[in-house]
Structure 1
Amino acid sequence: MTKTVMMMMAQLTTATEQIDLTAEDSRCILLLDFRKAYDTVDRDFLYESMRLFGFTESFIDLICRIHTGTTATFVVNGGQSSALPVRSGIRQGCPLAPLLFLLVVEVLGLALKQDPSLKGLPVPGTVDRTHLFSAFVDDSTLFLDTAKQILHALGIIQAFGNLSGLHVQPAKSKLLFFEPGHLQSELCRYRHRALRRHYQVPWVRDRDRASGQQKLGSSDPDNSAPPPHCDAGGDKR
């Protein structure tokens, strides 16, 4: 089930209010997948991003010409539709497409890295050096020192999506906690059905519990039962 970033933020806000400081202090990793990434990039945003990184107007004009007047057709029941104009996205199959997409995503990386309230994970073997964000085509990864930074980071990602056309696909994104044991003990305090309603994520199965992995946006009916060793009771909401 696909959800908007706003719905993700609403779910995480409710959950964060219920989890105490122990769970919030856990380090975490957000594995982000952009929905229909190449097809949704706002072309004007792409051109402005290229100006931001110092590309010449002649080269930007060349890229603009490549993406001007693009059309698409569909084959349905053996019949081909008339050509429809395509006003967003990067041309699939173009050798420049991955690089152009990364230019757009780099703007998100800069916005996250320049925010003083976000702190990445420490880099082993270094002093006071952290790593916050990395991107490989349409798969981006956000490394957060504490889980309490998630909501603020998602706010930046949402603002970026509104400008660039790139929105996170919750069903294919994942949230991993470094201290799943602490998180699991805190989640067990609350009625499991209420948490499933707010989180919209499955409980961690035995094979996944060691990694602390939870999927965003899943509605697997097999996860309707409470986690092992958890009391299904509690205050009703």
Structure 2
Amino acid sequence: MCGVHYAHCLCVLGVRVHCVSAHAYKQDKLLTLRLLYDHCSRLITNAWEVGSVPQAWKDASIVTIDKKGDRTDCRNYRGISLLSIAGKIFARILLNRISTHITPEVVPETQCGFRGNWTTVDMIFCLRQLQEKCNEQDRPLVFVDFNKAFDTVGRTRLWQLLRKYGCPEKFTTMIEALHTGMMANVSVGGEVSESFGVTNGVKQGCVLPPHALLHLPISNADEAFRDMGDGIYIQSRQNADLFNVAHFRVKTKTTRILMRELLFADDSALVAHSAEEMQKIVNAFSDASKKFGLKINIKKTEVLYQPNSTRTREEDIMVDGNKLNSVLEFTYFGSTI
């Protein structure tokens, strides 16, 4: 195990589980590295060679965090998994090794979630530009929210995606090992439930699932839009004067880019030229999502309605026979669009 990876892991972890706290791991870094490095290294090396991990690394104690909405409604709570610190160190080492190997090559520019040097600011800027043009040119915008993506995604399909996008077989096997046979309990108000098996979804609280999940919307979009040309084409020319519109009328030296989705982890924004095209895109996106165990949240998926001189009627966009709610403004990563 690389000492740099291990030292980094000690600095980023902050949850106390299974009697050993992150504070204890990093209280005296020199002493910690001297006393714990060899022991932890042997554990991780053994897990790597054997292809399995201790049960304590798999298990989770789930605590709930309330989101906005009615606190008496269980659907308005998010479950966070408190995990073994040693298991989190192992997961961080795996992530450090594979993130630079598969992410840059396979993740398109439309996906900004969980990537270095990419932030929500990039997505907000792009979306505001699209929103401005959509308003001028009478184009619809749909914001898609999945229902409990972390909890409902099919693990088998997720492991297949990791292999598809170039994750080495040994790393995929170890990620599977951290989830196979997982047990969990729920901690509420100082009381702990009986343990139960968890066979679906991934852990909110582990560093690996977000990076694994970012491939889901990508593959979902590939599956949905494989044979579809609908969307908005943007024409660009790198060597043109930004303010010389005549340069963009020339058909040579120009590039056309198809814009159809903006992705940040599992949050998606869809654009199209018309309501009819948007309905086709939403239908394809919904059908493809079901293959990955994901379901669109009808209540939180909304159509941005921007009335102007040519459009005074709300667009009727449907998902599984349910009409999506039309709104005059939408809060996108803290920015009101």
TM-score (norm 2): 0.45
2:276 maps to a residue whose letter is K
Q: Residues 69, 119 of structure 1: CA spacing in aligned structure 2 closer, same or farther, 3 A cutoff?
A: same
- The RMSD of aligned alpha carbons is 2.9
Say if 2:266 is the partner of 1:142: no
Give the structure 2 partner of residue 65 of structure 1.
Answer: 177
Tell me the residue number matched to 1:156: 284
Partner of 2:3: none
Quote the residue 1:83 is aligned against: 195
Query: 1 or 2 for the larger relative contact order (CA 8 Å, sep ≥6)?
Result: 1
Q: CA deviation at 1:76?
A: 5.5
Equivalent of 2:159 in 47, 50, 55 = 47
Equivalent pair of 1:38/1:90 in contact (CA under 8 Å): yes
Paired with 2:163 and 2:229, the residues of 1 have a C-alpha distance of 27
After superposition, the Cα gap between the structure-2 partners of 1:121 and 1:150, relative to the gap in structure 1 and judged at 3 Å, is: same
Q: Using a 3 Å threshold, how does the CA distance of structure 1 residues 124 and 31 change in structure 2: closer, same or farther?
A: farther
Bigger-Rg structure (1/2) = 2
Q: Deviations over 1:91-140 (max 9, x none)?
A: 21211221101011110122244232422352565642221112112211
Tell me the percent identity.
25
Runs of 5+ unmatched residues, structure 2:
1-136, 238-253, 315-321, 332-337
Deviation at 1:44, TM superposition (A): 0.6
Conserved 8 A contact 1:46-1:104 = yes
Q: Deviations over 1:160-192 (max 9, x none)?
A: 2221111111222221256654332x46xxxxx
The structure-2 alpha-carbon separation of the partners of 1:34 and 1:62, relative to structure 1 and needing over 3 Å to count, comes to: same
Structure 1 residues 124 and 29, CA gap change in structure 2 (3 angstroms): farther
The answer for the alignment partner of 2:39 in structure 1 is none
Cα 1:90–1:200 change in 2 (3 A) is closer
Q: Distance in 1 between matches of 2:264 and 2:167?
A: 21
Q: Residue type matched to 2:203 in 1?
A: R
So what's the TM-score if we normalise by structure 1?
Answer: 0.62
Give 2:278's aligned amino acid: I
Q: Work out whether 1:171 is the aligned partner of 2:285.
A: no
State the partner residue of 1:201: 325
Change (3 A) 1:180 1:138: farther
Size of the alignment, in residue pairs? 173
Shift of 1:36: 1.0
* 1:39–1:90 Cα contact (<8 Å) kept: yes
